[in-house]
């Protein structure tokens, strides 16, 4: 089975994600995974502290957390309009998105289904766009409370610990699902190139996100046909 579709330059392509979105996405991915794998020994309270492994994990965990925060700030500062458009698309959740969520398990299992037309983000991506950022914000905020407990009330510090753990578990589940569906699931692999190189095949965009494609590139396509 082909895990990742080939990046083809010989077919028409359209832009899906700008540079700031891509830098933020991969910066967040790397720092989140570093936080995850170094945080697990701390979360489970396991490690060989006698040789300093737990202390090293703690140092890497906090360093990665700082860089994760920097990437989030970078995204807000340099892609604010993009964030607003992202939120607007999420708020367009409607019957087509609900139908997508109902039908997707069948497509996931290999059954032939006809998906309803989608906007820039399909129903599943809209759900991920709500849950994952919310969990990451909770992880970051609770993490800093745990890091600097002297700056906060005792009640907030106590609340930060379970919040950090629960948000981490939910975010990890979402990241694993997103990673598989966005890169390795048959038929969806093209979305990886959208986040890696910024563009996707025009025919893929028409098929998977027809509403977005028509709104963004439809007029240009019609104008080009008119010139011909």
User: pTM for the complete prediction?
Assistant: 0.89
Residue pLDDT, tens place only, 149-163: 999 999 999 999 999
Structure tokens given for 212: 């977005």
* pLDDT tens column, 111-151: 888 999 999 999 999 999 999 999 999 999 999 999 999 99
Query: How far, in Å, CA of 220 to CA of 113, rounded?
Result: 30
Q: Tell me the average pLDDT across 82-98.
A: 97
What is the reported pLDDT for 2? 47
Helix (H, G, I), strand (E, B) or coil at 14: strand
What backbone phi and psi angles, to 5 degrees, belong to 215?
Answer: -70, -35
Q: Please, are residues 83 and 76 in contact by the beta-carbon 8 Å criterion? A: yes
Residue 21 has pLDDT above 80, yes or no: yes
- The torsion angles phi and psi of 172, rounded to 5 degrees, stand at -65, -45
Query: Has residue 3 got a pLDDT over 80?
Result: no
CATH of domain 13-227: 1.20.950.20
Residue 221's pLDDT band (cuts 50, 70, 90)? low
Residue 103 phi/psi, 5-degree rounding, is -85, -25
Task: Give the separation between CA 126 and CA 87, rounded to whole angstroms.
Answer: 9
Tokens of 93: 């959740």
* In the chain, domain spans: 13-227
Q: Is the pLDDT of residue 90 over 70?
A: yes
CA atoms within 13 A on the CB side of 8: 13
Nearby residues of 140 by Cβ (< 8 Å), 6 or more positions away: 65, 68, 69, 72
The per-residue pLDDT for 1 is: 40
Cβ atoms within 10 A of the Cβ of 155, count?
8
């Amino acid at each position: 089975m082909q895990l990742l579709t080939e990046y083809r330059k010989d077919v028409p392509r359209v832009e899906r994600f700008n540079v700031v979105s891509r830098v933020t996405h991969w910066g967040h991915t790397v720092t989140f995974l570093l936080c995850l794998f170094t945080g697990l020994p701390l979360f489970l309270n396991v490690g060989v502290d006698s040789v300093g492994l737990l202390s090293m994990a703690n140092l890497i965990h906090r360093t990665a957390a700082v860089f994760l925060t920097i990437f989030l700030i970078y995204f807000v500062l340099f892609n604010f309009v993009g964030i607003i458009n992202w939120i607007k698309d999420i708020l367009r959740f409607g019957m087509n998105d609900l139908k997508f969520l109902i039908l997707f398990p069948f497509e996931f299992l290999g059954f032939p289904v006809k998906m309803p037309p989608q906007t820039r983000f399909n129903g599943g991506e809209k759900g991920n766009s709500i849950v994952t950022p919310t969990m990451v914000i909770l992880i970051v905020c609770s993490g800093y409370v745990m890091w600097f407990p002297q700056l906060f009330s005792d009640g907030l510090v106590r609340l930060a610990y379970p919040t950090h753990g629960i948000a981490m578990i939910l975010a990890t589940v979402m990241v694993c699902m997103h990673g598989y569906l966005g890169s390795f699931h048959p038929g969806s692999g093209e979305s990886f190139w959208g986040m890696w190189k910024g563009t996707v095949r025009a025919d893929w965009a028409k098929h998977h996100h027809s509403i977005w494609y028509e709104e963004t590139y439809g007029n240009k396509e019609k104008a080009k046909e008119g010139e011909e």
